[in-house]
Amino acid sequence: MDYIEILDTTLRDGAQTTGLSFTLEEKLKIAEKLDELGVDYIEGGWPASNPKDYEFFRKIKDLALTHSEIAAFGSTAKIGTPVKHDISLNSILDADVSVAVLFGKSWTLHVKRVLKCSLEENLETIYNSIDYLKKHGLKVIFDAEHFFDGYLDDPSYAIEVLKTAEQAGAEVIVLADTNGGNLPSTIARIVSNVKTVIKKKIGIHTHNDSGLAVANSLVSVEAGVRHIQGTINGLGERCGNADLVQILPPLIFKMGYNVLRTNLPREEKLKKLREISTYVSEASSIPLSPYHPYVGEYAFSHKGGVHIDAVLKEKKAYEHIDPALVGNYTRLVVSDQAGRSAIIQEASYIGLKLSKDHPAVEKALQEIKEREAKGYRFDNATGSIRLTILKALGYNIDRLKVISWRTFVEKGPTDRVEAVITLQVDGDIVHGIGHGVGPVHALDLALRDAVLRRIPYLESVRLINYKVSVVDAGEGTGAAVRVFIEFTDGKSRWACTAYSRNILEASLTALIEGYTYKILIHEIQTI
């Protein structure tokens, strides 16, 4: 199959996402990860726009990139300015790159009302700008801004813009759906028409204002496009750009195209896709939706009993690709909708082999369903689920029994947040005290103070996530809440949940379960 070029513009168009600001160090790290992925071009930024982008092009030379070419972005020359004096064009030359991405106007509306010049002047500027960069030895990718809207308004002029760029020597002619408002059928038809008159490689640059950026990019390939521009996680202006995380898997695994410059086998090419998606999410401070296709935490999760039973027998029954291909994995969610298969699978994670007719399976399943009916939610609460299974098997899960607890908060001349707890730990009475930034924090420290007096190996346990969800907001400050806490001991992770109208009680219950889980697993594994 044909090779499809990928230009990643996360560091330029993605950086224009409202509320986002990458540091220079983050931009360099993202560039390294994109190079490791094997994209053909990394659009590093617009050197004429800000000092950070200019510094990026200086610093990127210190990195030993092995696959990707760095491209600098800019506009055609300002109308009336000789190209040799144009700031944008010369900033690209100063960036000392081998590839330039140059955008120009292809919609008569923009030429007349934004540039306020004649149609002929715009064509002349496009030609001279590309020619200037070509004479300085650069490869030029020409982005025809607003091409599809321009074509629908005046097809002959829009095509004339492309021909001008081609004649000036641009290696790739990119058609941009800049406003993101066109439908796949329109995109495919226009790309097919362009293919009949433009001989150079044709590219696509779509925005997601209609939720169709990925679809429009893929139908463009079917119509003849061989160069795609997009961003990781779909970052970008307004509603974002085409999401490469959603474009690369179908290109490789469903359409059969040759993509990315790595020499890895097809099934190995996207093993780190979830890793780079997660990193960009963290660097951008824009959380990755757990439902994000391919890489989201729940992208391959199964909750319904029928689904879980089928997936355990044949994963293709409810998974369109093997999640491992994109660095993800299958998750089976235990809930009130789950069946026995989910309980059996969850038990296997802690080394317990149960059959479907084992009485503990039905007992654990019924308890989970009853508790969810009362307000609990066990999605991803692996520790709570496994404790329920262990309880059904006869294990004593009341290893840390709360006798009493209290919290004290004083605000005034002296600020004090204190918690005191009395526990029965395997029959022994122990006391703990903690001072924290708030009552939940103080309660956690008091609990640790108590349990570590008797079980020192719990020192390795720490909290890595704490969430509170209001269940019935209509009750105001008396509303019930669900608390979800994730734990780790440095080797494994688990989560526990609790439900109560008292946020402190719910938090303490989830904390107790988290430590109890570690105690039981430690004992099971050391038998």
The CATH 3.30.160.270 portion of the chain extends over 400-525
- pLDDT tier, 332 (very low <50, low <70, confident <90, very high otherwise): confident
- 96-105, 273-282, 326-335, 396-405: least confidently modelled range: 326-335
338 band by pLDDT with thresholds 50, 70 and 90: low
Name the architecture of domain 3-262. Alpha-Beta Barrel (3.20)
Mean confidence (pLDDT) of the chain: 94
Average pLDDT over residues 448-453: 96
Task: Tell me the pLDDT tens digit for each residue of 62-97.
Answer: 999 999 999 999 999 999 999 999 999 999 999 999
Q: pLDDT-derived band of residue 345, with 50, 70 and 90 as boundaries?
A: confident
pLDDT at 163 over 90: yes
Residue 77 phi/psi, 5-degree rounding, is -60, 150
| Interacting residues of 253 by C-beta distance below 8 A, sequence separation 6+ | 266, 321, 325
Interval 4-41: pLDDT, tens: 999 999 999 999 999 999 999 999 999 999 999 999 99
Topology adopted by domain 400-525: Double Stranded RNA Binding Domain (3.30.160)
Question: Where in the chain do CATH 3.20.20.70 domains reside?
Answer: 3-262
DSSP 8-state secondary structure symbol assigned to residue 517: H
Task: State the average pLDDT over residues 109-123.
Answer: 97
- 327 Rama class: left (phi>0) / alpha (psi -120 to 50) / beta: left
Helix, strand, coil content of the chain in percent (nearest 5): 45, 20, 35
- Would you state the torsion angle of the CA atoms of residues 183, 185, 190, 195, taken in this order, to the nearest 10 degrees? 130
pTM of the entire predicted model: 0.81
pLDDT band (50, 70, 90) for residue 374: confident
- Tokens, residue 126: 């496009």
pLDDT at 364: 93
Measure the CA–CA gap between 104 and 143, rounded to whole angstroms.
6
Rg of the chain on CA atoms, in Å: 29
pLDDT at 527 over 80: no
φ and ψ at 350, to 5 degrees?
-110, 25
Q: Are 386 and 396 in contact (CB under 8 A)?
A: no
301 SS3 class: strand
Decide if pLDDT at 138 tops 90. yes
What confidence tens digit (pLDDT) does each residue in 378-388 have?
Answer: 888 999 999 99
